[in-house]
Every structure is written in C-alpha cells, then in structure tokens.
Amino acid sequence: MYLLMGISVAVMGVVLVMVFGSWGIILWHKGVRGLLGYDNVVVQTFEAAVVYSKGRFSQVLTVGDHWIRAKSAQVIRVDLRPETWSGEQWVTSGDGVSTFVRWSARVRVEDARKLVENTKNYGSDVFCRIQSCVKAAGTGLPYKTLQGTIGDPQDAVISAISASLAEIGCSCLGFEFLDVRPAIDMQEPREIGFINH
C-alpha cells in the first residue's frame, strides 16, 4: 500500500514538474503575456502586418513591438518598400503605327489590408494593370509624340496607373518609356514578359 502511494506521489511529482516546467519555459521565452496566451509580433520599419482573428480582419500593425492573442490569429506581413517593374510590349499608336515599347515603373504599397484582401497574386496583378495603362497611353498618342517621350516622366501615365493600382492598395511613384520603336525595326515578335527588380 505504501509502495502504491509512493508511486502515485512520484507520478504526481513528474506531472507537476512537466506542467510547471512548460510554464517556466513559456515564461522564460515569452514573459507573462506569453503565459496568458499572447504572442509577440515585431513589425520592421519597411513593412506592415495585417492581422486576422478567427477568419475576420482584426487590425493592421505598424512599426514596433506588438502583443496579439495567439489563439486563432493569422499575421500576414506586407513589404512596403517601392519596387521597380520593367516590361516590353506591342502597342498601336494613335496614328495606327504598330510600335514596340519598353517601359519602367516604380510602385509602392500604400494600404496593406487592401492589397491582402483584393489580390491573390500581387506581382501579376500589378504588371497586368501597368500593361493596360501603357496600352491605353500608346493608343492615345501619335507615334512621333510617343517616341519623343523616351526618358521623360509621364505624369498622365503615372496618374492612370495610380488610379488602377488604388483598387489593390498601391500607387505609382514614377513611370517612363525606355524605348519606343516601330514594329518594322524589330525582328519576329518574341514573347513579351516582365522583369521585377
């Protein structure tokens, strides 16, 4: 009987050591808040963190050290640094000349929540929207005027791109045509794509 009691006490001691040991480890690594079910999220100066709790939007965390309820929380980090996008495409100028254009655009995320909730593939969406605006700009200008814009910032195109990107929480900081040539100067059309720098 004493042996059974001794084993029970030993098992109870092991369980208590495990429970208090686990709490001690959590307390050591995360502090009292961690013990109470909170998780520490550190947001860097160049990012925002969109928090969803139980599948619903909760908040957008900005730069700094934050404590959030860890239970059923999802944190999506969004890089806010500007990105440069380059592309090549064919457009038909306003006077009907088939034209090859190479362009560069600088884009920045302005609203992290809009970006997360309104687009699944940020890169493809941004590139397609820029391409559509470039096509519209090329169609609206005669070839000679389009060719004269090489290297100059294009305010009208920047505004059009920003308006299009606003739907997904982004804006265009700059845009320029790098090359404009008539299609007859070009070889067979190659696959036109994009380069994200």
Cα–Cα–Cα angle for 6, 11, 17, rounded to 5 degrees = 125
Residue that terminates a domain, selected from 13, 48, 81: 81
The CATH number of the domain holding residue 140 is 3.30.479.30
- One domain for residues 28 and 45: no
Regarding whether 21 and 64 lie in a shared domain, the answer is: no
- Regarding whether 190 and 101 lie in a shared domain, the answer is yes
106 plus 47 within the same structural domain: no
90 and 75 housed in the same domain = no
* Cβ-contact 92, 138 below 8 angstroms: yes
SS3 of 39, please? strand
Q: Could you tell me if 10 and 96 lie in one domain? A: no
* Residue found under tokens 């059974």: 4
Token pair for 126: 């941004």
Residues 15 and 73 in one domain: no
Q: Are residues 181 and 88 in the same domain?
A: yes
Task: Give the Cα separation of 112 and 46 in Å (integer).
Answer: 12
Please report the pLDDT score of residue 1 as a whole number. 60
Q: Are residues 185 and 106 in the same domain?
A: yes
φ/ψ of 173, rounded to 5, equals -90, -25
How far apart are alpha carbons 133 and 60 in whole angstroms?
30
Q: How far apart are CA 143 and CA 137, in angstroms?
A: 11
* Cα separation, 110 vs 114, whole angstroms: 9
Residue type, 65: D
Give the chain's domain count: 3
Q: What is the mean pLDDT of each run of 10 residues along the chain (197 residues)?
A: 62 63 57 63 92 90 86 88 93 88 94 93 92 90 83 82 94 91 64 51
> Are 154 and 65 found together in one domain?
no
Q: What was the pLDDT predicted at 70?
A: 72
Last residue of a domain, one of 24, 59, 81: 81
Q: Which pair of tokens denotes residue 4?
A: 């059974």
Residues 127 and 138 in one domain: yes
- Confidence at residue 26, expressed as pLDDT on a 0 to 100 scale: 56
Shared-domain flag, residues 183 and 87: yes
Query: What's the domain range around 102?
Result: 83-196
Give the pLDDT confidence score for residue 111 in this predicted structure: 95
